[in-house]
């Protein structure tokens, strides 16, 4: 991991096409601006985790539902 110190209005460039600029720093919150080609997907990590967790939960619920249906059919 590369760790850099940047001030407001400073930026870094990644792979010649992605620019990450420090927009502001207020009360311990850093606001970033990201300029990247439209074909590069930029997502917040907490959203990725939330979708993964949701998918896992949906998968478990479906599995349990299918298992209950199978048990009911076997009882007949």
Question: Are residue 67 and residue 49 in the same domain, yes or no?
Answer: yes
Question: Are residue 15 and residue 31 in the same domain, yes or no?
Answer: yes
Question: Are residue 1 and residue 35 in the same domain, yes or no?
Answer: yes
Q: Closest Cα to residue 19, out of 43, 4, 35, 7?
A: 35
| Start-end of H helices in the chain | 45-75
Distance of CA 67 to the CA centre of its chain: 32
- pLDDT reported for residue 42: 92
pLDDT tens for 34-54 read 999 999 999 999 988 888 888
Range of the domain at 70: 43-76
- pLDDT reported for residue 10: 97
Question: Are residue 32 and residue 53 in the same domain, yes or no?
Answer: no
Question: Are residue 35 and residue 51 in the same domain, yes or no?
Answer: no
Question: Are residue 26 and residue 6 in the same domain, yes or no?
Answer: yes
pLDDT averaged over consecutive 10-residue blocks of the chain (76 residues)?
Answer: 95 96 95 96 90 80 71 75
Cβ partners under 8 Å of residue 8, min gap 6: 22, 23, 24, 25
């Amino acid at each position: 991991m590369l760790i850099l110190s940047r001030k407001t209005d400073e930026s870094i460039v990644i792979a010649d096409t992605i620019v990450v600029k420090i927009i502001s720093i207020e009360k311990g919150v850093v606001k970033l601006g990201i300029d990247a080609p439209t074909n590069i997907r930029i997502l917040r990590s907490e959203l990725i985790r939330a979708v993964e967790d949701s998918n896992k939960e949906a998968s478990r619920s479906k599995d349990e539902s299918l298992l209950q249906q199978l048990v009911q059919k076997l009882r007949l």
